[in-house]
Amino acid sequence: MSKYDIIVLGSGPGGYVTAIRASQLGFKTAIVEKENLGGVCLNWGCIPTKALLKSAQVFEYLKHADDYGLTVKEFDKDFGAVVKRSRGVADGMSKGIQFLMKKNKIDVIEGYGTLKTGKKIDVDGTVYSADHIIVATGARSRELPNLPQDGKKVIGYREAMTLPTQPKKMIVVGSGAIGVEFAYFYNSMGTDVTIVEYLPNVVPVEDEDISKQLERSFKKIGINVMTSAEVTTIDTSGEGVKATVKTAKGEEVLEADIILSAVGIKTNIENIGLEDVGIAVDRDKILVNDFYQTNIPGYYAIGDVTPGQALAHVASAEGILCVEKIAGMHVEPIDYGNIPGCTYASPEIASVGLTEKQAKEKGYELKIGKFPFSASGKASAAGNKEGFVKVIFDAKYGEWLGCHMIGAGVTDMIAEAVLGRKLETTGHEVLKTIHPHPTMSEAVMEAVAAAYDEVIHI
């Protein structure tokens, strides 16, 4: 029986990062993976979807070439080639993880891993032991009872990335990051898209101003948005699919070629031996302490299977903290109130901290500033004037409570707010930090200036 210091179950952005950090710290490390190195994120999530969205963005630029003084006489899309490029990007990233495993001398054990008592793990009949076993098995597309996925007419995100032909009509159920990203992609390719969202606002976790702007932007490009709406039944007996949608006005039947179910995720915690080992679970999540230790010594869990935000960068951070704690390093628990969230539709969305509603509910007296990209020189020159930056400060102490952005490239801008909040930066410090001109990022400074009644350009 092979013995390791650390075995990681699952090789997504939580698992493989954990394994690399463990190896760096001198632990003899192995990682168990049943499918592809890199997990869902690299193979079926974060990376290939961004490749699809980039193709959509380029196609949009071609459609609007005359806005930039350019003449493009003939152009078209090749849906199959767009999908093929996305898969190629994913394959390249997965091979990159293989290289990193070899570089860091991490043993890759291929197969289905099941936890056993006594700090052991069974991989398709072969048993391995370790001083520490870290569960990082991630999550998959969640299925609703009234919206069962058949992989053909009712699909999840995996099928949405590799459809053999482009659908003429698509219904997207759910308007979280996955739903709106695919809605934008397929709309850009020419598919007639309808979004059905159960809650009153699209991207419901975001600040309401952000949600309203995205809905306006989507309607402007022809996406039909139905909020406070619920798919009650579906009929797949015909050539396409019919969905009965319940709204405040009554019931409406929508017809489409395909329904994309984007109603959240389900953790991969079944059939991995949690019950046999006695590891505590509550509401689909493995219970852990601040350092990702379960109730059973020697067993840990990170990423989507734990109660924190189900985001790739959160899983990576949790895994690093977990193994550094095992190594005896001084580590501080993650501040889950300072986790950036990003949505990569067009316009992009990025946010961190409290929404305006949340801040008011906590009793803060607020200073709020907004700066529209329509007043940004860089945005105007780039032809991307849609959206804004919104900042929220505590009026009493100047604490940066929240930052919410919607517009071109904002996912690359949010880290300033995350770092500022980590360093307990005040509004005046941001305001007096010189930002380069012309850039999209100076909109952050301008929004702060608006909060303190010092704005120059609006």
115 shares a domain with 54: yes
Say which residue the tokens 């493989």 belong to. Answer: 16
- Both ends of the chain: CA-CA distance in Å? 69
Choosing from 284, 308, 336, the residue where a domain stops is 336
234 shares a domain with 165: yes
Alpha carbon separation from 375 to 379, 400, 458 (Å, rounded):
8, 23, 7
- The answer to the question of residue 341 being in a domain is no
Per-residue confidence of the chain (458 residues) as pLDDT tens digits? 689 999 999 999 999 999 999 999 999 999 999 988 888 888 888 899 999 999 999 999 999 999 999 999 999 999 999 999 999 999 999 899 999 999 999 999 999 999 999 999 999 999 999 999 999 999 998 988 989 999 999 999 999 999 999 999 999 999 999 999 999 999 999 999 999 999 999 999 999 999 999 999 999 999 999 999 999 999 999 899 999 999 999 999 999 999 999 998 999 999 999 999 999 999 999 999 999 999 999 999 999 999 999 999 999 999 999 999 999 999 999 999 999 999 999 999 999 999 999 999 999 999 999 999 999 999 999 999 999 999 999 999 999 999 999 999 999 999 999 999 999 999 999 999 999 999 999 999 999 999 999 998 88
437 is catalytic: yes
- The CATH number assigned to the domain holding 305 equals 3.50.50.60
275 shares a domain with 128: yes
CB < 8 Å & 24+ apart, contacts of 362-367: 364/394, 364/395, 364/396, 364/401, 365/394, 365/395, 365/396, 366/392, 366/393, 366/394, 366/395, 366/401, 367/392, 367/393, 367/394, 367/395, 367/427, 367/451, 367/452
- The answer to the question of residue 319 being in a domain is yes
- The answer to the question of residue 405 being in a domain is yes
88 shares a domain with 114: yes
Choosing from 290, 314, 336, the residue where a domain stops is 336
Residues counted in the chain = 458
Residue 267 has which token pair?
Answer: 């953790």
Q: What are phi and psi of 401, to 5 degrees?
A: -85, -35
pLDDT at position 439, please? 96
12 shares a domain with 137: yes
- The CATH number assigned to the domain holding 369 equals 3.30.390.30
Question: What letter would DSSP give residue 331?
Answer: -
Instruction: Transcribe 378-438 into DSSP letters.
Output: HHHHHT----EEEEEEETTT-BEEEEEEEETTGGGTTHHHHHHHHTT-BHHHHHTSPPPSS
- The answer to the question of residue 149 being in a domain is no
Q: Report the candidate in 275, 32, 267 with the shortest Cα–Cα distance to residue 133.
A: 32
User: Which residue range forms the structural domain that includes residue 205?
Assistant: 154-263
- The answer to the question of residue 413 being in a domain is yes
The total domain count for the chain is 3
Say which residue the tokens 């991989």 belong to. Answer: 123
434 shares a domain with 351: yes
What percentage of the chain exceeds 70 in pLDDT? 100
What distance in Å separates the CA atoms of residue 79 and residue 85, rounded to the nearest whole number? Answer: 10
Q: What are phi and psi of 254, to 5 degrees?
A: -105, 140
393 shares a domain with 329: no
- The answer to the question of residue 458 being in a domain is no
Say which residue the tokens 């969640």 belong to. Answer: 142
272 shares a domain with 136: yes
420 shares a domain with 432: yes
- The answer to the question of residue 146 being in a domain is no
274 shares a domain with 137: yes
**CA dihedral for 34, 37, 43, 45, sign (positive or negative):** positive
Say which residue the tokens 């930002």 belong to. Answer: 435
pLDDT at position 1, please? 67
Choice among 64, 428, 437, 457 that is catalytic: 437
270 shares a domain with 132: yes
Residue 316 has which token pair?
Answer: 């990576």
Neighbour tally for 13: CB within 10 Å: 27
161 shares a domain with 137: no
pLDDT at position 41, please? 80
Choosing from 211, 235, 263, the residue where a domain stops is 263
- The answer to the question of residue 126 being in a domain is yes
**C-alpha of 30 from chain center:** 27
167 upstream amide cis, omega within 30 of 0: no
